[in-house]
Amino acid sequence: MASRQRRTPQAAKLAILEAAERRLHDEGPDGVRIQRIATDLGLTDAAIHYHFGTREALMDALLRRIGRRLVDDIEATIESWAPDRIDVAALGRLFQRAYADERAARLAHWLSLAGWRPKGSGMFRPLVERVHRARVQAARKAGRATPRLADTQHAIALLSAAHMHAAMSGDAVLASVATERPGPDPRSFLDFAVKLIAHHLAQS
């Protein structure tokens, strides 16, 4: 058990979220439990309830923390692109890190089954706007019709959904289409999805 120490409310919330994220990474959503995190930090269960209320509220805050980091990473990535560039593979790697490596997909799935619904919207709006501007510029240069915004929105949603679903149950889905064992590799499936989406964004 960690020794108890005085923290400011802000520092305490940050420490709780960091401990919860370690538990999520090591054990999945089932490991994110008030009692275990309290033990990790040398706190009482009541102290964690004071800052977050319920276990579900803590997990919601944890998901938002990972989501905020993903959005920041996306913003930093798209700032480095040329005006008409769209690097779908780079975006895929960011989704992979957040959804699979940082366990956001499993956490979101757990919360959804518990009745959670996201309160905000437009998480990827700046990304959609940036990608669509690049598509419009490329279409003008090539003398093609202006692409539809809805197509850009669908493409980004599909990229996010493919990586999220692969992080939760990609092996099972690919096993259902396998003609021999082992089935298709999840990484090759995501590479395939990225290429399809990149081709669509570049041509339509």
User: Any idea which residue has 């400011």 for tokens?
Assistant: 8
Give the CATH number for residue 7.
1.10.10
Q: Are residues 49 and 60 in the same domain?
A: no
* Mean local confidence (pLDDT), 129-137: 96
Closest C-alpha to 199, from 151, 160, 163: 151
Give the CATH number for residue 99.
1.10.357
pLDDT 10s digits, 14-51? 999 999 999 999 999 999 999 999 999 999 999 999 99
Q: Are residues 171 and 112 in the same domain?
A: yes
Q: Are residues 45 and 140 in the same domain?
A: no
Q: Is the torsion defined by CA of 30, 34, 39, 42 positive or negative? A: positive
Domain that holds residue 8: 1-53
Q: Are residues 45 and 133 in the same domain?
A: no
Q: Are residues 61 and 158 in the same domain?
A: yes
Q: Whole-model pTM?
A: 0.88
pLDDT 10s digits, 73-105? 999 999 999 988 999 999 999 999 999 999 999
